[in-house]
């Protein structure tokens, strides 16, 4: 029996389910953070239960770790496994070159470390995440709390010479206090509107004292699985230069159709 999902949830789900086909027994798999990644964790858990899939998951946040453990996925730290076969994660934006903006969920630092410690990164997204130029989504910069206002001023001053349309930086809040990442840092969200040269911006932002890492993922993503509200997925593999389209059947399953939100 088909499940009654909204078009956006259906798009997220079919992308997540198709991306799980990349996972094979024996793999060490990076588990992303966010609403689309939550679908992926549930789909993987279903395979672990039904197919006896033997994997080790390396979560990119405490939220994902809690979800994976609750669903029966064996979890380890990156320090324990050292290197990963595959990371599957969502994104806030991606462009034609599969460059990404990530960090809307507040976990871009751990997400970038895990992704770059993987042989392959597969991104799952709904079609609305594709953009002609990155920057409509605010770019997160994880910063140390000490002297964050000085760091903010340096960032905004540096942006004057960058190929961007906006230069405002705002401190991410959690109600009336600063949002704190899993690493104990703050996040400054840069409202740039358009990023003309993502590679240059990434390099320059990381040179500013107080900035730990930025949410631009350049030359890290290998393939993107794009979900559509009609249940189709488009797969773009930038290394193989291949584009394909498939239809994903959605059937009722008590294991994965609980609340996907983290």
DSSP state of 213: E
Domains of the chain: 7-129+219-247 (3.40.50.1360), 139-213 (3.30.70.260)
For residue 228, what is the enclosing H or E element?
A: none
CA–CA separation, 107 and 260 (whole Å): 18
Burial class of residue 80, CB neighbours in 10 A (0-12, 13-18, 19+): exposed
Residue 75 is classified by DSSP as B
pLDDT per residue as tens digits for the range 166-187 = 999 999 999 999 999 999 999 9
Q: Which residue is listed with tokens 């991104």?
A: 123
Helix (H) or strand (E) holding 235: strand 232-237
Task: Read off the pLDDT band of 228 (50, 70, 90).
Answer: very high
Residues known to be catalytic: 111
pTM of the predicted model, to two decimals? Answer: 0.93
Tokens representing 94 are 């991606």
Q: Which residues of 208-221 are buried (b: 16+ CB within 10 A; e: fewer)?
A: bebbbbbbbbbebb
N residues, the chain? 262
What percentage of the chain has pLDDT greater than the value 70? 94
**pLDDT tens, residue by residue, 91-128:** 999 999 999 999 999 999 999 999 999 999 999 999 99
**What is the predicted pLDDT for the residue at 1?**
31
Distance CA 248, CA 219 (A): 28
pLDDT one-digit tens code per residue, 10-66? 999 999 999 999 999 999 999 999 999 999 999 999 999 999 999 999 999 999 999
């Amino acid at each position: 029996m088909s499940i009654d999902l909204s078009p956006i949830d259906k798009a997220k789900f079919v992308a997540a389910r198709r991306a799980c086909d990349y996972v094979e027994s024996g793999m060490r798999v990076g588990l992303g953070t966010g609403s689309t990644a939550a679908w992926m964790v549930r789909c993987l858990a279903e395979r672990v239960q039904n197919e006896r899939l033997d994997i080790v998951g390396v979560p990119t946040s405490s939220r994902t770790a809690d979800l994976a453990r609750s669903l029966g996925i064996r979890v380890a730290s990156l320090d324990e496994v050292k290197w990963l076969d595959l990371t599957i994660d969502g994104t806030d934006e991606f462009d034609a070159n599969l460059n990404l903006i990530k960090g809307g969920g507040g976990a871009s630092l751990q997400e970038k470390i895990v992704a770059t410690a993987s042989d392959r990164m597969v991104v799952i997204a709904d079609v609305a995440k594709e953009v002609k130029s990155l920057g409509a989504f605010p770019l997160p910069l994880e910063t140390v709390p000490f002297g964050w206002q000085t760091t903010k001023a340096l960032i905004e001053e540096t942006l004057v010479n960058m190929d961007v349309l906006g230069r405002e930086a705002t401190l991410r809040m959690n109600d009336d206090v600063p949002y704190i990442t899993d690493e104990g840092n703050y996040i400054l969200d840069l409202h740039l509107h358009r990023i003309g040269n993502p590679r240059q911006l990434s390099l320059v932002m990381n040179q500013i004292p107080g900035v730990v890492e930025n949410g631009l993922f350049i030359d890290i993503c290998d393939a993107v699985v794009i979900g559509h509200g009609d249940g189709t997925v488009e797969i773009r593999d930038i290394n193989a230069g291949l584009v394909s389209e498939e239809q994903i059947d959605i059937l009722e399953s008590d294991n994965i159709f609980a609340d996907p939100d983290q």
